[in-house]
Amino acid sequence: MFDYHGFFSAEIDGLKARGGYRTFLDVQREAGSFPSALRHGPDADSRINVWCSNDYLGMGQHPLVLEAMHRAIDETGAGSGGSRNISGNNHYHVLLEQELASLHGAEAALIFPSGYSANDAALTVLAGKLPGCVVLSDELNHASMIAGMRHSGAEKLIFRHNDMDHLEELLAGIAPETPKIIAVESIYSMESDIAPLARVAELAREYGAFSYLDEVHAVGMYGPEGAGKAAELGIADRFDVIQGTLAKAYGIAGGYVAGPASAIDAIRSFASAFIFTTSLPPAVAAGALAAVRHLKRSELEREDMKAKAALLQDLLRERRIPVVSDDAHIVPVLIGDSAKCRAVAAELLEQHRIYVQPINSPSVPTGSERLRVTPTPHHTEAQIHAFADALDALWHRHDLPRRQVEELAAAL
């Protein structure tokens, strides 16, 4: 008889041996005190400062967001009651989709329980329905985009990260009449670098490709009203579908796509991941709606976040602590060794009460292990200086190499 339990135990043992086993920190966020949080430990609880949150602007604790969610719970209760098709289409969902369509200057928008499901569902339908479609995908695209391409059954061609010459070479090899989709992210979170969006849009137009842009790390953060990187460049209208999240800059949960009514309606009508899932709780949609509306009219959070990220980048540059890229607000600190990456993260936590998650293979290639640091408007300048000093001490303790961004870029 097959040993099922033994098989899965061996799989986990192998994962641990490769250094890829993930553990979770028991962290309790406390409204009004972010980035401070409570860490629950086996022996005692302690206070820590969180430096790896995707709540980039702290909107998850904004008074307007909390008020909107409380009000929605009082009005509608906790859950939605079903899928959008079967009793779960709440008015907050409708209002949120209208607001997101307006944000992106699009005809329509559609919300999902997560950004992952939005990418998976949208690309499954868009690439799967187009006859003989070929998808051209950046090699560093998110797992959710890759899942959607795979589920679509379409042919996939992968081009080197941000390499537009390679993308054009692949496009030139596809028959002009063949439907094709170019799928990229605007900001790649593990690298903190930005796609050459203007060139992507040019190639899509020149070769007759449908363009799909993942803006999850940019919506709420960049561009007029927080509409994203393409909007910041004034070329948002040159991308057919924009995908975003409500879980990062907007601080809540959920994902969405925005674009032409025909494409969005096709996703709504054919995507199993949308049709057969319970819709977002109305209170979550209400909170996201409040966050989107606030960040459409307020620049304060974005300006403060960019200033804090720039300060940390400057301090690390002074100490020659290598950062993979300083193009965007995420600060990926390169360590390049899985054991040392875990050790540095553990010592930051235990010695300095600084929580930043080590990022090891397979999330990043072996030899490029890093700390993915996300300074926010709520980190004080004193905390940022303390973080840089703590990291500098650990760099010395572990005898880690020191490089500037330019040197690192040349090496990579």
Known catalytic residues? 248
Quote the longest CA-to-CA distance of the chain. 65
Amino acid in the structure at residue 213: L
SS3 of 254, please?
coil
Give the tokens for residue 343: 């050790």
Q: What are phi and psi of 231, to 5 degrees?
A: -65, -35
CA distance 122 to 241: 9
Task: Kindly give the pairing relationship between strand 255-259 and strand 331-334.
Answer: unpaired
Give the tokens for residue 240: 């057919």
For residues 29 and 365, is the Cβ–Cβ distance under 8 A?
Answer: no
For residues 140 and 161, is the Cβ–Cβ distance under 8 A?
Answer: yes
SS3 of 241, please?
strand
For residues 312 and 387, is the Cβ–Cβ distance under 8 A?
Answer: yes
Q: Is 223 left (phi over 0), alpha (psi -120 to 50) or beta?
A: left
Amino acid in the structure at residue 112: F
Q: What are phi and psi of 351, to 5 degrees?
A: -95, -30
Give the tokens for residue 143: 């797992």
Amino acid in the structure at residue 45: D
Residue count of the chain, please give it.
412
